[in-house]
Amino acid sequence: MGLEVRDYLSMLSEASAAMTSSLDADTALRRLCRILVPRLADWCAVDLVEGETVRRVSVAMGGSEARFARMPGKIGPLSLEMEGLLLRILRTSGALLIPAAAKTEGELAEARLRLHRLLAADSAIVAPLRVRGNALGALTLARLDPGEPLTDVDLPFVEDLAHRAALAVDNTRLYGLQHEMATRLQHSLLPRLPDICPLRLAAGYLPARESSQVGGDWYDAFRLSDGTPTLVIGDVEGHDITAATQMSEVRNMLRALAFDGREEPSQVMARLDWVRNGLDGSLLTTMVLARLEGPPTGPWQLRWANAGHPAPLLITRDGGTRFLEAGRAPLLGLDPSLSRTDAIETLSPRSTVLFYTDGLIERRTEPLDRGMTRLRRQAGTLAGADVQTICDELLATNDKANEDDIALLAVQVPGE
């Protein structure tokens, strides 16, 4: 199993690509093990430190399981003795070679002998996954053939692999902390829905299935100074904390500009664009700003303006669906001098208007028209259901497929 320098370099390149191809540490480490076996070792395991314990993440074996019958715990979980040895090595040692004739001298002579017995392999290397002085886990490689043992020559290469694996694990953990912080920030900024009786209101939010960072999707609902219900759905460009922070700024600024109710939605939107452009050269933002106008007994009218956002979906009580395409204008952040207009739609009794962000309809593998058709069909089957059920069902059917964050806001007018 001796390897040339070019073989090492090729394997190192593959391993680096595998470990950076996933934001999930366990997935990346499983890919690493599959690359190293059988090219470098007959058996490979990766273990990660979690608090005061060690968790076996991945094991790869070259050949049939019968070949490894003499290796106790070859798959895991780790025995208490093995776990204790790994923790000791991670605290005190660099990469450790365990040769066929286990050395009985030196600081870790006892640990080498015990590892040789526990692994039941002809030779092995245990290399800490260490970054910035912290031991995150261990990479263990073993060979069963006494004719081709692991030697001191292999140590630098295994140490390099372990270091790269440690960086990958550390990066995924840092990403996880950042993503969790951004997600909590975004959720904290989503409002509590007001009571706009006799209208019924519901909302929902679903993070992307495999998101690198949080996005700027949001919804909002509030009453104007005269009590008129106002609804907002929007999306600030980007997928990071900056987008989530700007989303908060846009929401609060929009509330302040709209509250007195003296301007139509399109005028409020134009003023928002002008103010943001003057203050900070804002990120591009799509948005629908809508008002529900009418006496408590109806009829109700929806008055809205759309700045480059997916059109709201009207769902009638009999299952009819139609996108409200009117009132369109360019997204915010391009040119505050662009003209904007309002659109008006009279809502029939028991009809529902669904506002949503593009994560609900967009897929990388299909044209947009297909996603819009899918939404119409799904919404049509939910006609007559209460608004919370509509939101819950739409999010549930997209839970395994959404590639972007999804925000939903639905309003239903009363009727017999």
In whole angstroms, give the CA distance from residue 241 to residue 189.
12
Treating both helix axes as pointing N-terminal to C-terminal, what angle do 241-258 and 155-189 enclose, rounded to 10 degrees?
Answer: 10
**Are 163 and 18 contained in the same domain?**
yes
Residue 241: strand, helix, or coil:
helix
**HSE of 174, CA atoms in CB hemisphere, 13 A:** 7
Q: Is 15 helix (H, G, I), strand (E, B) or coil?
A: helix
Please indicate, yes or no, whether residues 244 and 103 belong to a single structural domain of this protein.
no
Residue range 127-149, pLDDT digits in tens: 999 998 889 999 999 998 888 88
- 57 lies in the same domain as 86: yes
Mean pLDDT over the full length of the chain = 86
> What pLDDT, on a 0 to 100 scale, did the predictor assign at position 401?
60
Residue 209 is predicted with a pLDDT of 59
Inside any domain, residue 115: yes
Number of domains in the chain: 2
Query: Which carries the bigger pLDDT value, residue 332 or residue 281?
Result: 332
Q: Are the CB atoms for 329 and 266 separated by under 8 Å?
A: yes
| For range 182-209, the mean pLDDT | 82
Mean local confidence (pLDDT), 338-356: 96
Say yes or no to pLDDT of 212 above 50: no
283 in the same domain as 244: yes
Residue-wise pLDDT tens digits, 326-346: 999 999 999 999 999 999 999
- CATH number, domain of 231, equals 3.60.40.10
Does the pLDDT of residue 213 top 90, yes or no?
A: no
Please give the average per-residue pLDDT across 195-209, as a whole number. 88
Q: What is the CATH number of the domain that holds 40?
A: 3.30.450.40
pLDDT at 105 (0 to 100): 59
Walk across the sheet containing 53-61 and list its strands: 53-61, 43-50, 134-143, 123-131, 96-98
- What is the average per-residue pLDDT within 254-259? 95
Mean pLDDT of 34-44: 90
Mean pLDDT calculated for residue range 270-280: 88
Q: In the chain, pLDDT over 90 holds for what percent of residues?
A: 47
Band of residue 179 on the pLDDT scale cut at 50, 70, 90? low
The range of the structural domain enclosing residue 331 comes to 190-412
Which of 196, 190, 181, 180 is closest to 219 using CA atoms?
190
Residue 73 has pLDDT above 80, yes or no: no
- The H-assigned helical ranges of 259-386 are 265-280, 368-381
Residue 100 vs residue 115, higher pLDDT: 115
Inform me whether the pLDDT recorded for 64 exceeds 70.
no
Q: What is the pLDDT of residue 405?
A: 84
Three-state secondary structure call for residue 30: helix
Mean pLDDT of 13-36: 87
Domain boundary among 179, 209, 227: 179
Q: What is the model's pLDDT at position 239?
A: 64
Residue 124: inside a domain, yes or no?
A: yes
Whether 2 has a pLDDT exceeding 60, the answer reads no
Asked if 267 and 315 sit in the same domain, the reply is: yes
**Token duo for residue 203:** 């909302």
Mean pLDDT of 236-253: 79
What is the predicted pLDDT for the residue at 139?
94
- Whether 402 maps to a domain, the answer reads yes
Same domain membership, residue 233 and residue 345: yes
Region 120-131: what's the mean pLDDT? Answer: 89
Both tokens of 285, joined, read 């933002």
The per-residue pLDDT for 182 is 64
Residue 191 C-alpha from the chain's centroid: 22
110 conformational bin, left if phi > 0, alpha if psi -120 to 50, beta if neither: alpha
In this structure, are 335 and 365 located in the same domain?
A: yes
Q: Does the reported pTM lie above 0.75?
A: no
Residue 210 confidence (pLDDT): 54
**Is 185 inside a domain boundary?**
no
In a shared domain, residues 311 and 269: yes
| Residue 208 and residue 170 share a domain | no
Which pLDDT value is given to residue 345?
Answer: 97
Residue 344 lies in a domain: yes
| Closest C-alpha among 371, 259, 260, 366 to residue 313 | 371
The residue from 179, 205, 221 where one domain ends is 179
User: What integer is the mean pLDDT of 225-251?
Assistant: 85
What was the pLDDT predicted at 147? 84
